[in-house]
Amino acid sequence: MSISDLNNKVRQCRRCRLSLTRNNAVCGEGNLNARFMLIAQAPGEKEDEEGRMFVGPSGKVLDELLSEGGLTRHEIYMTNLIKCTLPKYRRPKQDEIEACSYYLIKEIELINPKILVPLGYYATKYIFQRYNLLVLPRSDFRSVYGKLFLIDDKKILPLPHPTALLYSPDFKQDMVRKYRKLRVLSKDCEWFPVCPMRRFYQEGKLDKKWIELYCKGDWESCVRYQMEERGEYHPDWMLPDGSLARELVR
């Protein structure tokens, strides 16, 4: 199945009650070779009218946040967990998520992005459940935004949904900081070619997760990177989280 075939199925979908109230089922769009796949909850009113992703007020906010992350829409792939608008912006029902997630699973298979970026609570909850990650109460979900997770060959970076800024502009500084993680994840750590972690991994002494989560992931959060930037001494056997593993040099 091609992405065009999948999009045709989305447009004609009658899997749940939302097909009765929508104007357009909104397909994913963007770079088919994207490193990042952004997964929002559902189309808004403007998106439902035009049949496009992020063309309403939240789209302008997203463009600003992507710019902070060093990206444009042309470099990413965007889609929704739910392809049809939710009447009166109500919460999605579980059977609607189950019916529509079929399309998201297929999109992930076809695009095969390196990094999944669920936006907001429902998209993050679904992706966490799909990949058997921790499931938190809704009140605790903010704690995972901006943090990188690794499962098999996929990296997951949950971020707040851009719509949040329309209602709570005071959160802008914190949200910008989280979206700047996209810039970090767009390239490997500059110290990686000479980092002892690379050598230990090549020698089979270090688990791949350290490389993927830090050296080729959120290197900005690596304690080794931070100390290197400050010119501070750190032993070769210090792991990226700052813990010591002397057995690496035995």
Condensed to tens digits (0 to 9), the pLDDT of residues 178-217 reads 999 999 999 999 999 999 999 999 999 999 999 999 999 9
pLDDT confidence of residue 138: 78
* Mean pLDDT for all residues in the chain: 94
Considering the chain, tell me which residue range(s) the CATH 3.40.470.10 domain(s) occupy.
3-185
For 25-63, what is each residue's pLDDT tens digit?
999 999 999 999 999 999 999 999 999 999 988 999 999
With contact defined as beta carbons under 8 Å apart, do 40 and 119 qualify? yes
In this prediction, residue 147 carries a pLDDT of 95
Quote the pLDDT of residue 140.
80
Mean pLDDT of 131-139: 81
Q: Report the percent of the chain where pLDDT is more than 90.
A: 87
Task: Check residue 235 and give its pLDDT.
Answer: 94
Q: Give the integer Cα–Cα distance in Å for 60 and 229.
A: 35
pTM recorded for the entire structure: 0.94
pLDDT reading at 86 higher than 90: yes
Specify the pLDDT at position 63: 96
The average pLDDT across 92-113 equals: 96
pLDDT at 153 over 90: no
Compute the distance between CA of residue 167 and CA of residue 202 in angstroms, rounded to an integer.
48
- When pLDDT is cut at 50, 70 and 90, the band that residue 114 belongs to is very high
Q: How many CB atoms lie within 10 A of CB 130?
A: 17
Q: What is the pLDDT of residues 220-235, one digit of tens each?
A: 999 999 999 999 999 9
State the architecture of 3-185 in CATH terms: 3-Layer(aba) Sandwich (3.40)
Q: How far is CA 91 from the centre of its chain?
A: 21
94-111 and 3-11 are packed helices; what angle lies between their axes, rounded to 10 degrees? 160
Asked if the model's pLDDT at residue 152 lies above 90, the reply is no
The confidence score (pLDDT) of residue 135 equals 75
Question: Strands 77-80 and 29-30: what pairing?
Answer: antiparallel
